[in-house]
Amino acid sequence: MSEEKKAGKGKPRKSATSATSATSGTSARPSRAEAEDAVRVLLRWAGDDPAREGLIDTPGRVVRAYEEFFAGYEVDPREILSRTFSEVDGYDEMIVLKDIRFESYCEHHMVPIIGRAHVAYLPEHRVVGISKLARLVDAFAKRLQIQEKMTAQIADTLNEILQPKGVGVILEAAHQCMSTRGVHKAGVSMVTSRMLGTFRTDPSTRREFLAIVGNPGAMSVANT
Ligand SMILES: [Zn+2]
C-alpha cells in the first residue's frame, strides 16, 4: 500500500525518461499488449466482463487515448521555446496569452483536470511566437499533474529560456477527482499562480496582468 515512499518529491522532470527513471521498478516502458491487458484488469475490477462485445475493442482504444492524454511526455518544453525572435524593435510591454484551454490529469486519481491558463511575460530581449506559449502549456498539461506543480513548471521554463524581466502564470481549473468522487463538489475551480521577476516585485505590473486576465475564479470553468 504505502510502498512508494519516495524520498522528496524531486524537481519536476522535463523528459519522459528522467521521469520514469525516478520511479523505482517501472523504468522499462510496457508493451502495447501489456498496457491493453492492464485495461482488461481494470475492467474486471470495475465489475464488467472485458470479453463482452461492447468492451472487446475498449483496451485498444484506451491505450490509444492514453497516447493523446499523455503526449506531453514526448515533448521537451525547452525545445518549444528554443526558437525565439530577438527582433522586438523596442517592444517592451507585457505579452499575455489568456484563456488557453488545457486538459490535464490528476496524478492522484488519473482523472481530468480541465481549465484555462493565462501566461504573461515582460520581454527583455527575446520574444516567442504566441502559439509557443500554448504549446508550452500543453507540454506540461499532457502529463499526470498536480495543478500547483504545473503552474510552476510553466512559469519556470518560460523564465529560464526567455530570461524576461518577469513572468506571470495563472491556472484555473476544475478537478474531476473532486466533482465526480470524494467530496463530489462540482462547479469549484482551483486557482494557482506563479509570479516571477517584475511580476513579483512590481505591484503595477502584477495589477496590469490581473486586469488583462480579468478576475480568475470569477470566470467559470466547465466541469466537463
Ligand atoms: Zn485527484
| Domains observed in the chain | 16-69 (1.10.286.10), 83-213 (3.30.1130.10)
CA of 7 to the centre of ligand 1 (A): 21
pLDDT in tens, the chain (224 residues): 343 444 434 444 444 444 444 445 567 899 999 999 999 999 999 999 999 999 999 999 999 999 999 999 999 999 999 887 776 667 789 999 999 999 999 999 999 999 999 999 999 888 998 899 999 999 999 999 999 999 999 999 999 999 999 999 999 999 998 888 888 888 889 999 999 999 999 999 999 999 999 866 554 554 44
Cβ atoms within 10 Å of 3's Cβ, excluding its own: 7
Residue 12, φ and ψ in degrees, nearest 5? -55, 130
CA separation for the pair 140, 94 (Å, rounded): 23
Cβ atoms within 10 Å of 137's Cβ, excluding its own: 27
| Residue found under cell 501489456 | 34
> Which residues does the annotation place in the binding site?
106, 109, 177
Would you say the pTM of this structure is higher than 0.95? no
CA of 9 to the centre of ligand 1 (A): 17
Q: Residues 221, 179: contact at Cβ < 8 Å?
A: no
**Residue 103: all three cell numbers together:** 486538459
